[in-house]
Chain A
């Protein structure tokens, strides 16, 4: 698909979602559909979809160890092994996974290839790593902060996160405190989107499957920010709705504000879309065989699980069978 088509298709898909929620609630008054039924359905699809993915991956046999070896492997005792980048034990692989999942270590090694005059050079390229880290952690903190709408009593940890996140005070907008992660999320997603629009090589390999989630998350962040800083919604009513959903006694309080339904519909779309898109890397990263396996191919015997049982005839058995004939023919034998 061409770049322009991919980009605009994704953009309009998200725009249509916004309009569907807008008219669905504002004109058709389908509050129950958008406030209860769709969120439940989306959450169910999310859970079942992720487990389905999990099981599908789990059913793939791992015949052999294929870790990327990014350091000295285990060798002779006086050669220093890089225990994390080339782990030979389960513990090493575990530590490696922690670095990968929490700090995106392999992305940190990302390089940029460029021609400097006649010389081909590889320069460090950390912006992607920084933006990815900012994006994922902002997202996580926003989700943790959102717990205040879903649980009662709100635990100390959630309040602390909220307090730290709202360090900055603002004057011009509709809330006295600014969430740092709100700004960071929008900035990071914008960067990740522009990256795929501006850099020609990336534009070439980008598809709607790349642009759509970015537009979707961007619009979730924007509708959230609009609710907080510009067009106030009834947060007490929203908590009532959210607690109703969580306790399986859904009800729709009056006068919440259509912006919230748009936010919720976009979030529902994200959840339902999650298991069937590249976003499943949230789960998939834990199953990446190039990261989560110890490099012990030569130390441990790995049997390929799809091998049919091979009938083997070992040398000992062979000798037992033919010992007498071998002796007669003057061939040396191991056991007399």
Chain B
């Protein structure tokens, strides 16, 4: 008794599971990496278009920074952040970050949808009003 057909079925199931991502993406072109837009009125007004910290840092560590901001504000009562270049910012998610990045859908959400992260901050914090939103 060799049960060849059972083995064949087993191999097919194994291949199906192991190559699932390849099969799933088959025929679809790789989605273009997100390009967060920085064309908000607030940023257009800026002479030197710079974020709170250098872009390379913001891109990777903005969640760490937001966490620090939250802790400083809520737990330590600090309300001013002094950036590495000496500029001062009010510590606030809705009034600082989102004032410049008022296009949440074309900015934050672009990356987050791509990486499938859903920050829960907006359960409480107010999102900036955008077109097409209530």
Contacts and interface: CB of A to CB of B under 8 A. Distances in A.
Interface in B19-44: 19-22, 24-25, 28-31, 33-34
B78 to A, nearest CB: 16
A234 B55 CA distance: 12
B56 interface: yes
A136 interface: no
Nearest to B75: A171
B7 to A, nearest CB: 4
Contact of A283 (B14, B19, B56): B14
Interface stretch (A56-64, A113-121, A179-187, A191-199): A56-64
Contacts of B30: 152, 240, 243-244, 246-247, 249
Contacts of A63: 1
B119 A47 contact: no
B24 A236 contact: no
B80 interface: no
B51 to A, nearest CB: 16
Nearest to B25: A246
Interface residues of B, number: 39
B31 A152 contact: yes
Contacts of A13: none
Interface stretch (A17-25, A73-81, A154-162): A154-162
A235 B59 CA distance: 9
Contact of B67 (A151, A176, A243): A176
A236 B119 contact: no
Interface in B47-83: 56, 59-61, 63-64, 67, 71
B11 interface: yes
Contacts of A16: none
A150 B21 contact: yes
Contacts of A239: 33, 114-115
Contact of B1 (A62, A171, A174, A257): A62
A71 interface: no
Interface in A301-322: 302-303, 305
A147 interface: yes
A187 B2 CA distance: 41
A54 B114 contact: no
Nearest to A50: B14
B120 interface: yes
B2 A236 contact: no
B124 interface: no
Interface centre among B3, B19, B60, B118 (most CB of A within 10 A): B60
Contacts of A215: none
A286 interface: yes
Nearest to B21: A150
B19 to A, nearest CB: 8
A247 B29 contact: yes
Nearest to B119: A176
A206 to B, nearest CB: 29
A193 B42 CA distance: 55
A176 B63 contact: yes
Interface string B1-15: 111100100110011
A270 to B, nearest CB: 14
Interface in A247-289: 247, 249, 253, 255, 257, 283, 286
B111 interface: yes
Nearest to A286: B10
A158 B116 contact: yes
B18 interface: yes
B1 A236 contact: no
Interface in B98-113: 111
A243 B31 contact: yes
Interface centre among A163, A176, A255 (most CB of B within 10 A): A176
Interface of B: 1-4, 7, 10-11, 14-15, 18-22, 24-25, 28-31, 33-34, 56, 59-61, 63-64, 67, 71, 111, 114-121
The 7 A-B residue pairs whose C-beta atoms are closest, nearest first, are A150-B21, A148-B116, A58-B7, A154-B116, A247-B30, A243-B30, A174-B64
10 contacts: A46-B18, A50-B18, A152-B28, A158-B116, A176-B121, A237-B33, A239-B115, A246-B21, A246-B30, A253-B33
